Amino acid sequence: MSVVINRCITTPIRSASSSSGAVIFAASRRLQRTFSTNDKKGVEPLNVQSTRDYCVDTVYKSDYNAYLMGLLFPAQHRNAYFAIRAFNVEIATIKDQIPKTAIQSGQLRFNFWRDILKQIDEKKELPKHINQPVALELLQHVHDYGLSIRLLQRCLEARYSDMMNNGIIETMDELENYAEFGHSSILYLLLEVLGINNEQIQYAASHLGVSSGIVTLLRGYSHHAQQVLAKDCNFEYTFILSNFR
């Protein structure tokens, strides 16, 4: 299990009206996925409320459990919660949205997000032509909360490795590392949003994230067959596919 390293949040937590969360939940709508604008075609930049609605709706449609948990998150931090969860949805669904014969398409999408995180980290802003709602929300909340770009990158690279390996996990160590990077990192980011920098809580979040990642894979075991579960675990405990249907 990975050791959790203490991190300090240097940016003050922003305050917001608790009523803003109610507005988001009242009228979430799906917006067209636009990676960039083209001024010559008259495409207008998205406004703040639109990007927030997009993040909420993305999580609602693709990760309903996370959406329900978001209802319990403190209202003043709820926008950041849904931005982080929407980012997770964006990168987690890349593998399932591309044909296996078009892996380069997935690589391009991961490179897009690598560039986004690099821009946020190094330049503290995004080019004017970038009009991706989740990216715009991430930019805002990285500034507001001092979110660790390293954790966002860990999530990204875990999903990228999963795509490149076609979901095949050889050992339990690989399985734990995947869950730690892909799932625990999300929980660390949410702790940063809440301003929690406690080593014991981070340690608990590490275990919770790994457990959540493994359970998520088990839930999809019948769909992914024996590709997703560690081969040494399959061999030792002789899992029967029909038991997971």
**pTM greater than 0.85:** no
Residue 17 confidence (pLDDT) above 80: no
**24-33, 214-223, 228-237: lowest mean pLDDT where?**
24-33
pLDDT of residue 207: 96
Model pLDDT for residues 64-103, shown as the tens digit of each residue: 999 999 999 999 999 999 999 999 999 999 988 888 778 8
Distance of CA 132 to CAs 45, 105, 136, 198, Å? 9, 18, 6, 33
What percent of the chain lies above the pLDDT cut of 90?
Answer: 54
> In a 10 Å sphere around its CB, with 0-12 CB exposed, 13-18 middle and 19+ buried, how is residue 215 labelled?
exposed
Asked if 221 and 182 touch (Cβ cutoff 8 Å), the reply is no
pLDDT of residue 24: 38
pLDDT of residue 229: 54
**Tokens 């299990």 — which residue?**
1
Instruction: Please state the three-class secondary structure of the chain as a single string.
Output: CCCCCCCCCCCCCCCCCCHHHHHHHHCCCCCCCCCECCHHHCCCCCCHHHHHHHHHHHHHHHCHHHHHHHHHCCHHHHHHHHHHHHHHHHHHCHHHHCCCCCHHHHHHHHHHHHHHHHHHHHHCCCCCCECCHHHHHHHHHHHHHCCCHHHHHHHHHHHHHHHHCCCCCCCHHHHHHHHHHHHHHHHHHHHHHCCCCCHHHHHHHHHHHHHHHHHHHHHCHHHHCCCCCCHHHHHHHCCCHHHHC
Residue 22 confidence (pLDDT) above 80: no
Model pLDDT for residues 186-227, shown as the tens digit of each residue: 999 999 999 999 999 999 999 999 999 988 888 876 655 545
Nearest in space to 189 (alpha carbons), one of 221, 157, 229, 150: 150
pLDDT of residue 172: 85
End-to-end CA distance of the chain, in Å? 30
pLDDT of residue 34: 35
Asked if 166 and 100 touch (Cβ cutoff 8 Å), the reply is yes
Model pLDDT for residues 100-138, shown as the tens digit of each residue: 778 899 999 999 999 999 999 998 899 888 899 999 999
Mean pLDDT, the chain, whole residue set? 78
Query: Domain-by-domain residue ranges, the chain?
Result: 18-164, 166-245
Q: What are phi and psi of 155, to 5 degrees?
A: -60, -45
Residue 185 confidence (pLDDT) above 80: yes
pLDDT of residue 183: 96
